[in-house]
Structure 1
Amino acid sequence: MAERSLMLVLHDVAPETWPDYQHFVEAVDALGHVPICWLVVPNFHRRNRLEEHPEFCRLLDSRLARGDELVLHGCNHADEAPAPRSPRDWFMRRVFTHEGEFYPLDQAESARRLQQGIELFARQQWPLHGFVAPAWLLGPGARCALATTGLTYTSDPRHLFLLPDYTAIDAPGLVWSARSAWRRGMSRLVSEQMLNRHRQAPVLRLGLHPVDMRHGFSRRYWLNLLIRLLEEGRQPVTKIDWLNRHVLAPSAAA
């Protein structure tokens, strides 16, 4: 595959996080046609039901019209399950993240929440192909439930996975931990190392979070990196368009 592609992905998209992203998105739009993947949370931390914000829904309508992709990103993006019982679960749910909503859920509850999100997208008439779990964490029950939804893909920090079999496709991603100055500095170093390691990778993903946008250091890095990768010839594309072009369509033709 000669073409090298680039995916720009905005995590935790909700009415309350849009002000964090707005100026960055405007700067991206000024670069020309750079499609964006928006990871949409139906009810962010149970205080931002998407359908109670029709103006924001119209904004997402307009992004689809530009060629962007909307992706289901959890249900409420918060881990509200009973306290963890094992050291591993305690680490994953209390140290690694407090937002791994789909990590502790059983199959039935996972299926219920996934269906809520799918129905929301249907009511809004938004095409839906992918689901990304908050913090990329899928427990066994959630994995089983997701495989039955008919969606095309999910992802983790290093791969895209075709559903229902979770066929892995290498798709290295860059992501920052930007909550403190030392974390931002370390994230920049790690990102540059990742870039050097994966410079010839067929596809790179830039995974941005609202907290990245609240600090000039990280916000400028992401915009400058995007410009750099575009100047190096990487083609910006959404996840589903890339899969249709390079994975799904060739498989169907075969």
Structure 2
Amino acid sequence: MSQSRDEKRLLASIHDVGPGSERQVEQLHALLSRRLGGPRFAMLVVPDHWGNHPLSADRPFQSKLRAWSNAGIEMFVHGWFHRDAAEHSGAARFKAQHMTAGEGEFLGLDHATALRRMRDGKALIEDVIGRETAGFIAPAWLYGDGARTALREAGFALAEDHWRVWNAQSDAVLAKGPVITWASRSRMRTASSLAFAALARQALPLTATVRIAVHPGDVTKDALLASIDSTLKRFARTHRPSAYADIQ
């Protein structure tokens, strides 16, 4: 579906979904559903978060994921392990050190490894939910050269990074602008994410597509939950809560 020039959309998502984050995801699911008028958001599923929570071995969570998908929630493949085990240099080293804390799994992968993990994740999640996944979003929104090349071959419809959403097959940019997200791992990062969200509530209402991304760790701090709630409430007034597929 193409987006008209004057139509405004809100794309919201819950990251790091898996058996190990079930309680936190349920809490975020309730918050987003309340503010967006139902399951009008996406989930980013990690097949085996840090090698400790394999989706393939948890049948009850598989059933829950399928039920969420049946209710209309889009499911994206979100890496495989989410953990970054690569050695980096140059610009990639800076990104790995300053843009995430060991979470940028696809930043340093070679083409063959990236393609295998993408295809394996796609096959697993599609088997669980019984339909095609919506696309692929790299952990921490970080893609290395190997991942970008593999993405075109893995059969995904959509991809996303910090600044845009694009067609994974044609590379056509479908939406531009920063994603609003929050950080819980340090006081400084929490404070800066709260400040950015407050600024975004003032500066982004004219943007055609607003993206909001929440993480399981956000539920650990009341200030983050309050900011998320305020941000969802603000943009739900001016932007229609939509599926990522709606902007194609």
Q: TM-score, normalised by structure 1?
A: 0.88
Given candidates 96, 108, 114, the residue that maps to 2:112 is 108
Q: Write out per-residue CA displacement over residues 81-106 of structure 1, whole angstroms, 9 at most, x where no aligned residue.
A: 2x33x243332223332111111111
Letter aligned with residue 95 of structure 1: H
Quote the residue 1:162 is aligned against. 167
Given candidates 146, 150, 162, the residue that maps to 1:145 is 150
1:204 partnered with 2:246: no
Checking the alignment, whether the CA contact within 8 Å between 2:18 and 2:47 is kept in structure 1 is yes
Given candidates 171, 176, 182, the residue that maps to 1:171 is 176
Q: Write out per-residue CA displacement over residues 177-197 of structure 1, whole angstroms, 9 at most, x where no aligned residue.
A: 222333222212212223333
Pairwise CA RMSD: 1.7
Alignment partner of 1:16: what SS? helix
Q: CA deviation at 1:28?
A: 3.2
1:195 partnered with 2:168: no
Q: 1:7 to 1:71 in 2, by over 3 A?
A: same
Q: Write out per-residue CA displacement over residues 1-40 of structure 1, whole angstroms, 9 at most, x where no aligned residue.
A: 2221111111111111121232232233345324120000
Letter aligned with residue 99 of structure 2: F
Given candidates 174, 181, 188, the residue that maps to 1:182 is 188
1:228 partnered with 2:231: no
Checking the alignment, whether the CA contact within 8 Å between 1:10 and 1:39 is kept in structure 2 is yes
Q: Distance in 2 between matches of 1:92 and 1:185?
A: 20
Q: 1:68 to 1:150 in 2, by over 3 A?
A: same
Q: Select between 133-142 and 178-187 the one with higher mean Cα deviation.
A: 178-187
Q: Distance in 2 between matches of 1:126 and 1:220?
A: 34
Quote the residue 1:39 is aligned against. 44
Stretches of structure 2 lacking an aligned partner (at least 5 in a row): none
Letter aligned with residue 198 of structure 1: L
Alignment partner of 2:135: what SS? coil
Instruction: Summarize the alignment of residues 65-80 of structure 1 with structure 2, pairs less than 5 Å apart.
Output: 65-80=70-85
Given candidates 118, 122, 128, the residue that maps to 1:118 is 122
Given candidates 138, 153, 176, the residue that maps to 1:133 is 138
User: How many residues align structurally?
Assistant: 240
Letter aligned with residue 8 of structure 1: A
Checking the alignment, whether the CA contact within 8 Å between 1:34 and 1:236 is kept in structure 2 is no
Stretches of structure 1 lacking an aligned partner (at least 5 in a row): 248-254
Quote the residue 1:252 is aligned against. none
Q: Select between 213-222 and 118-127 the one with higher mean Cα deviation.
A: 118-127
Q: Distance in 2 between matches of 1:64 and 1:127?
A: 10
Alignment partner of 1:38: what SS? strand
Q: Write out per-residue CA displacement over residues 92-149 of structure 1, whole angstroms, 9 at most, x where no aligned residue.
A: 2233321111111111111111111121023222321310001111111111111012
Q: Distance in 2 between matches of 1:17 and 1:121?
A: 16
Alignment partner of 2:170: what SS? coil
